[in-house]
Amino acid sequence: GAGVSQTPSNKVTEKGKYVELRCDPISGHTALYWYRQSLGQGPEFLIYFQGTGAADDSGLPNDRFFAVRPEGSVSTLKIQRTERGDSAVYLCASSLTRGRSPLHFGNGTRLTVT
């Protein structure tokens, strides 16, 4: 079946612009995670959704970052006033249930802020 889909695969934007990154999880997966990965580093947790609600957003670096999942399926990560330090691969993952379930990752969105 279809895996986790992330769009766009690449995004180049200018410093100060607004970007939206989209994640379409595996059908039926209730949990959805956003991670950020810089070159040579492990995935850094940003936010976790259980259904429509953000169960844990402790990883969002500041108030420029916001994520939504209005219908409990597709999620959008929104970044305002982008900075060069936001450049990274943004990974989305979904899992079947909450807790102790394997994460299924998408291919990521590579964000470059110039």
Minimal distance, residue 65 CB to another protein, in Å: 16
Instruction: Give the nearer residue to another protein in terms of CB position, either 20 or 44.
Output: 44
In the complex with another protein, the residue whose CB is nearer, 74 or 103, is 103
> Cβ of residue 53: shortest distance to another protein, in angstroms?
12
Would you list the DSSP string of the chain?
A: ----EEE-SEEEE-TT--EEEEEE--TT--EEEEEEE-TTS--EEEEEEETTEEEE-TT--STTEEEE-TTSS-EEEEE-S--GGG-EEEEEEEESSSSS---EE---EEEEE-
| 45 versus 66: smaller Cβ distance to another protein | 45
Chain contacts with another protein (rule: CB under 8 A): 31, 33, 35, 41-45, 48, 50, 55-56, 58-59, 91, 93, 98-100, 102-108
Residues contacting 41, CB < 8 A, separation 6+: none
Shortest Å, Cβ 95 to another protein: 9
- Residue 103: CB minimum distance to another protein, A: 6
